Structure 1
């Protein structure tokens, strides 16, 4: 029986407050997931927020371990915090007839849940990938690494469906945590804005008379700012007139150039600043973020909606958003400014190749790098999961008769 037209009763489980979500890297993503599921899948109700003194205690422990041991303690991922979350969430979930629980970045929230409601865990990575890859997950005290990894195991085992935005993360969940392949899927996230530019406008995009590179990032070091600066200098050596716009961070003082512009911050919620951001996407020739570590990158989806090709690094989950030769190109992590400059020069100097890349970048956005595409796919996967559970239950009952 096809039940995909049936609207589900969805519990959105996240312990964070609205302000916490706004401050976190997952803030906008949780809101997009909620809006998309409300549109395509069912009626969404937040089960959080969940306050716990265990979190405050964890922050104190983290400060102490950093001060005394020079090591990190992941206060958001502890057994005590997970148990306190479950204690609050269990009766809330039991009080209403939910069909499914959605847990975005919610491994700690679901690890000790006691519920028969099927759980959908949405994560951009897992602990096995993040450990010693992101700075915040590096140099951990042994107990913290152990508890975080065990919580990951429990959450993956408890979830009926696991969604990642990249094959990098999905494959790791299967290989490192021995998850059932049938319940793990890679579905790319979309661009975090409401209105993409008209496709007719994008298809008329031409390369500039000098190569405009757009570096959009809040972390100069992790996003490869030094390499971006090197690339600007190397393009000059290759005879390519170029400029580099830095947006979202302020480089260290030694990185200065007459054709480098720095915009410390643009707030999309302020119309004038949002328009300035849109203009940068529309008028740049490449989104250039030679990142050192990334789990995905919604900014690559946003660039694609403008027909703006991405130049980045083949690391982490970036290849979940950037497909080689379609909406950009990825170089290995060891590549430096010369290699990036040579790649950019080849593409920029080939007008026909650049024009084709603009069109295929926008096609990638229209086909899969948007939230509607995510919502349609995820709605189907959720219904398939629910049907499997119903079928297994019916088989179990008939086997006992």
Structure 2
């Protein structure tokens, strides 16, 4: 199998699109297939009825990409591209192109971070669920039954696909994404830095745009609790500008948004990773969490909640510590103290984190594994026409 068609509503040539995931995925595919054709579809123009409904309900309640008109347009584009390019297989990022595509006469795979409704329900406290969501979820489930396979980066997402789609387990494939930016140093250099960490004072790093969803208040509470127990600890915050209480400001340094396009911002980000002892992002909702992969590339143990896809990126008690959502800051602080006080325990966890990145959480590994997966296509009938 030499020629792969990659279809997406994102821009896989733009490293800023979806945090760089389609961009890095395309590059990984190009290293592993002789030819990769790309279909990148923007949102179709709205019809009069869709425009009126969008004005009545609002953009979040009535997104254009979810309308029947848009989905049929996506399908037509995919069908035309398959007919013209004649690929050996098709890989679609998310399901928009596939909902109404019907039989394509080639093996078709869909890859995403989670089944669409699983993602929306996980994030429902922070994002609006559109009016057309139940219909779209049903169409996605019907589509999944007719294609060669669906690919997700975490066990949680795979289990949600089996439960929601009703597909055979052999059609659901676990394949972690790679870190979109990462430490480029060798394993040996990262290991040497890990062994040089003094852990006194303790330095924690938080990265995220959504302060509440990412668990920023809990991260601050953990650092405050450690300081209250006589352990010097600080927290660097990147990606947002939270309003902090006066009592928190002595322990928290807010660096704000750092642009990957600016050399000085990239240097600041790299320094924050290099100077940290732990990556502390107790996110309440997370389908995957690419930043956990990035942190582990620096040999940082991750402190996080046992939320959705995070256990697929962070291995509890091996590359980090995971906690239930109801866990108190006091308990998290006590577990961190127990870790750093046990001889050799911190270093083993930090080195295991780096090894997880080296072996699993990188795009080179992704590329070779997805080629093996797609080239082993069973050749079954692939009819994804909705009933």
Same-fold call, TM cutoff 0.5:
yes
CA shift for structure 1 position 138? 5.6
The answer to whether the Cα contact below 8 Å between 1:286 and 1:311 also exists between their aligned partners in 2 is: yes
Q: 1:238-253 to 2 correspondence within 5 Å?
A: 238-253=229-244
Q: 1:111-122 to 2 correspondence within 5 Å?
A: 111-114=99-102, 115-122=104-111
Q: TM-score, normalised by structure 2?
A: 0.90
Once residues 281 and 158 of structure 2 are traced to their aligned partners in structure 1, the CA distance between those partners, rounded to angstroms, is: 24
Once residues 337 and 72 of structure 1 are traced to their aligned partners in structure 2, the CA distance between those partners, rounded to angstroms, is: 36
Once residues 305 and 50 of structure 2 are traced to their aligned partners in structure 1, the CA distance between those partners, rounded to angstroms, is: 34
Q: 1:107-256 to 2 correspondence within 5 Å?
A: 107-114=95-102, 115-135=104-124, 140=129, 143-193=131-181, 196-204=184-192, 205=194, 206-254=197-245, 256=248
Q: 2:351 aligns with which of 355, 359, 362?
A: 359
Which residue number corresponds to residue 102 of structure 1?
91
Q: 2:71 aligns with which of 68, 78, 82?
A: 82
Work out which structure has the larger RCO, using CA pairs closer than 8 Å and 6 or more positions apart in sequence. Answer: 2
Which residue number corresponds to residue 4 of structure 2?
10
**What SS is found at the alignment partner of 1:262?**
strand
CA shift for structure 1 position 351? 4.9
**What SS is found at the alignment partner of 1:290?**
coil
Which residue number corresponds to residue 396 of structure 1?
none
Once residues 183 and 212 of structure 1 are traced to their aligned partners in structure 2, the CA distance between those partners, rounded to angstroms, is: 43
The answer to whether the Cα contact below 8 Å between 1:311 and 1:328 also exists between their aligned partners in 2 is: yes
In the superposition, relative to structure 1, how do residues 121 and 137 fare at CA in structure 2: closer, same or farther (>3 Å)? farther
The answer to whether the Cα contact below 8 Å between 2:142 and 2:165 also exists between their aligned partners in 1 is: no
Tell me the number of residue pairs that the alignment of Structure 1 and Structure 2 aligns. 376
Once residues 212 and 55 of structure 1 are traced to their aligned partners in structure 2, the CA distance between those partners, rounded to angstroms, is: 53
**What SS is found at the alignment partner of 2:285?**
coil
Q: 1:29-108 to 2 correspondence within 5 Å?
A: 29-54=21-46, 61-62=53-54, 64-66=56-58, 72-105=61-94, 107-108=95-96
Once residues 335 and 12 of structure 2 are traced to their aligned partners in structure 1, the CA distance between those partners, rounded to angstroms, is: 42
In the superposition, relative to structure 1, how do residues 376 and 207 fare at CA in structure 2: closer, same or farther (>3 Å)? farther
CA shift for structure 1 position 29? 0.5
> In terms of mean alpha carbon deviation, does 371-380 or 57-66 score higher?
57-66
**What SS is found at the alignment partner of 2:92?**
strand
In the superposition, relative to structure 1, how do residues 351 and 267 fare at CA in structure 2: closer, same or farther (>3 Å)? farther
CA shift for structure 1 position 322? 0.4
Deviations 1:124-148 (A, max 9, x none): 111341243213886546x412222
In the superposition, relative to structure 1, how do residues 97 and 132 fare at CA in structure 2: closer, same or farther (>3 Å)? closer
CA shift for structure 1 position 22? 5.8
Once residues 57 and 333 of structure 1 are traced to their aligned partners in structure 2, the CA distance between those partners, rounded to angstroms, is: 43
The answer to whether the Cα contact below 8 Å between 1:110 and 1:158 also exists between their aligned partners in 2 is: no
Q: TM-score, normalised by structure 1?
A: 0.87
**What SS is found at the alignment partner of 2:96?**
helix
Structure 2 residue 258 is matched with structure 1 residue 258 = no
